[in-house]
Chains A and B, each alone.
Chain A
């Protein structure tokens, strides 16, 4: 007789929401992408909007997002996800549209698209996964790479004199009038995952109101690119990433007036 070692409800890998296809993630062990995927799709499932949601996948490690997210999706060129999402939302204004992008995609090659999409106040959700590195292409320096951080293209560590400072694009776009709800969250501990989930839920609910762009940054990790074990990346996030990329809401709408304002201390 077959011996059951683990009770079925505890099988994390077999306990996915219907909004995920069930295809096993290709991500490296410990990578935050899988968690962000799952939380995002859980929210879509719980809100009951799977049939009305269209997503846009980026270029980078999450290029195959549509293999996992069980909604209609389009694969954009590098950096153009928010422009593609704009095109979709403009012709399907009754649908929920999100783009899922990394820091190389959103804050380097796609900077123009990102800024103008938010500036136009496109009524979409941008999920911005920031792991401070180009993970897929071999760990090169990204716009969000921290000062002193060693990457394959900054082998002696990033220094601001020649490489500029890590780009806080989330704070930058929060200042644009088109930004309706802007927040930064993380996925390296259950507490933060729950906070992210609440923020994503809010963002989809706000999309119904048609008042502007919702933009959620997720501070994530890259064990392979950072050359750290998954556990070590948790410490790195706490000690290095969060002081520079502080978590919390950056711009929030007033529930009654609908007017969005920057949160103090940000």
Chain B
């Protein structure tokens, strides 16, 4: 339905939680290939399988590596507060429409149920026009519009792929991240979403103990802050990635730093939320 509505030129979004989003992967692949802008929210729960309804970040790979079949990427936003959840909706549509690409908000079960004060963007702050490619009815003055992901000739299909990859490369200019006390940091925590919010407390606790800990929180998971992490790894030789999964984003951090820093990992799985104290204990034990 999102495919149809987006293809007809309107703003369309849907939301689900892990198993439901797995079911949607067929559609995500088609939407990405047909270059339809839309927004999807995955409020992640613990898996695999039917799993649990507790918060998790176990769908990171599915979100940033594609998820469905074929070479495609979603624009992935990882909010860490209710205000950012609101902002991500607007940001998500803005980016989706700019790049004609599906955007995903990757939240978790805790963020999804959290209540916080928010400020809504001004009404009309995100104007929308019906795009010229949309199926709105073929008027006499134009050729038919077709929304499709079928390009049977391999030469044509490779061309489509090349175009998509160029688009994903161009998206690197949209990288968003937030840094906390990174200037003098000797150890860097990298975490997103709820984990990053917990790690803000870890930075406070560490600083009280005189440990020079900083935090880098990617806000866009795709595009990923590859260049910034590569740059920081010149100076900061010890990093730790904290996630609510078995270690997924840590692979991207290791790729970004390309062996220049030691990159440790701490994670809880299956719906368990790590405490600041246990994270700090891990840092004190393994990185100092």
- A126 lies within 8 A of chain B by Cβ: no
Q: Which residues of B contact A66 (CB under 8 A)?
A: 144, 146, 148
Closest to A113 in B: B1
The minimal Cβ–Cβ distance linking A55 to chain B, given in whole angstroms, is: 9
- Flag if A87 contacts B7 (CB, 8 Å): yes
- B224 lies within 8 A of chain A by Cβ: no
The minimal Cβ–Cβ distance linking B153 to chain A, given in whole angstroms, is: 12
Q: Give the docked Cα–Cα distance between A72 and B7 (Å).
A: 10
Closest to A85 in B: B4
- B52 lies within 8 A of chain A by Cβ: no
Tell me the residues in window 44-103 of chain A with beta carbons closer than 8 Å to chain B beta carbons. Answer: 50-54, 56-57, 63-64, 66, 70-77, 80, 83-92, 95
Interface-centre pick from A71, A74, A86, A89 (highest chain B CB count, 10 A): A74
Q: Which residues of A contact B10 (CB under 8 A)?
A: 91
- B12 lies within 8 A of chain A by Cβ: yes
- Flag if A87 contacts B2 (CB, 8 Å): yes
Contacting chain A: which of B95-103, B132-140, B162-170?
Answer: B132-140
Tell me the residues in window 133-157 of chain B with beta carbons closer than 8 Å to chain A beta carbons. Answer: 135-140, 144-150
- Flag if A87 contacts B12 (CB, 8 Å): yes
- B177 lies within 8 A of chain A by Cβ: no
The minimal Cβ–Cβ distance linking B24 to chain A, given in whole angstroms, is: 11
The listed residue (B5, B30, B144) touching A87 by CB distance below 8 A is B5
Q: Which residues of B contact A84 (CB under 8 A)?
A: 1, 3-4, 7
Q: Give the docked Cα–Cα distance between A73 and B146 (Å).
A: 5
- Flag if B144 contacts A72 (CB, 8 Å): yes
Q: Which residues of A contact B9 (CB under 8 A)?
A: 91
- Flag if B137 contacts A52 (CB, 8 Å): yes
- Flag if A88 contacts B8 (CB, 8 Å): yes
The minimal Cβ–Cβ distance linking A41 to chain B, given in whole angstroms, is: 12
- Flag if A83 contacts B4 (CB, 8 Å): yes
- Flag if B2 contacts A72 (CB, 8 Å): no
The listed residue (A52, A63, A80, A87) touching B8 by CB distance below 8 A is A87
Q: Give the docked Cα–Cα distance between A70 and B30 (Å).
A: 23
The minimal Cβ–Cβ distance linking B40 to chain A, given in whole angstroms, is: 14
Q: Give the docked Cα–Cα distance between A44 and B30 (Å).
A: 28
- Flag if B137 contacts A53 (CB, 8 Å): yes
- B27 lies within 8 A of chain A by Cβ: yes
Closest to B31 in A: A77
Closest to B148 in A: A75
- B278 lies within 8 A of chain A by Cβ: no
- B26 lies within 8 A of chain A by Cβ: yes
Q: Which residues of A contact B3 (CB under 8 A)?
A: 74, 76-77, 80, 83-84, 87
Interface-centre pick from B12, B135, B136, B145 (highest chain A CB count, 10 A): B135
Closest to B134 in A: A72
Q: Give the docked Cα–Cα distance between A72 and B9 (Å).
A: 12
Q: Give the docked Cα–Cα distance between A63 and B149 (Å).
A: 11
- Flag if A87 contacts B1 (CB, 8 Å): yes
- Flag if B30 contacts A54 (CB, 8 Å): no
Tell me the residues in window 1-33 of chain B with beta carbons closer than 8 Å to chain A beta carbons. Answer: 1-10, 12, 26-27, 30
Contact with B along A138-152 (1 / 0, CB 8 A): 000000000000000
Q: Give the docked Cα–Cα distance between A75 and B144 (Å).
A: 13
The listed residue (A71, A89, A91) touching B12 by CB distance below 8 A is A91
Q: Which residues of A contact B7 (CB under 8 A)?
A: 74, 84, 87-88
The minimal Cβ–Cβ distance linking A25 to chain B, given in whole angstroms, is: 16
Q: Give the docked Cα–Cα distance between A89 and B148 (Å).
A: 18
Closest to A21 in B: B144
Q: Give the docked Cα–Cα distance between A189 and B9 (Å).
A: 40
Q: Which residues of B contact A54 (CB under 8 A)?
A: 8, 135-137
- Flag if A74 contacts B5 (CB, 8 Å): no
The minimal Cβ–Cβ distance linking A236 to chain B, given in whole angstroms, is: 30
Q: Give the docked Cα–Cα distance between A51 and B138 (Å).
A: 5
- Given the interface contacts A75-B147, A75-B149, A77-B26, does A90 sit within 8 Å of B137 by beta carbon? no
The listed residue (B2, B6, B34, B137) touching A95 by CB distance below 8 A is B137
Q: Which residues of A contact B140 (CB under 8 A)?
A: 51
The listed residue (B5, B144, B145) touching A91 by CB distance below 8 A is B5
Q: Which residues of B contact A52 (CB under 8 A)?
A: 137
- Flag if B138 contacts A71 (CB, 8 Å): yes
- Flag if A74 contacts B148 (CB, 8 Å): yes
Q: Which residues of B contact A76 (CB under 8 A)?
A: 3-4, 30
The minimal Cβ–Cβ distance linking B236 to chain A, given in whole angstroms, is: 45
B interface residues with partner A (beta carbon < 8 Å): 1-10, 12, 26-27, 30, 34, 135-140, 144-150
**Beyond A52-B137, A84-B3: 4 further Cβ-contacts under 8 Å?**
A71-B137, A87-B6, A90-B5, A92-B137
A-B contact pairs, 22 of them (CB 8 A): A51-B137, A52-B137, A53-B137, A54-B136, A57-B148, A66-B146, A70-B144, A71-B144, A72-B135, A74-B3, A74-B7, A74-B135, A74-B148, A76-B3, A76-B4, A76-B30, A85-B4, A86-B4, A87-B12, A88-B5, A90-B4, A92-B137
Nearest 9 pairs of A and B residues by beta carbon? A87-B4, A75-B148, A72-B135, A84-B4, A87-B1, A87-B5, A74-B147, A91-B10, A88-B4
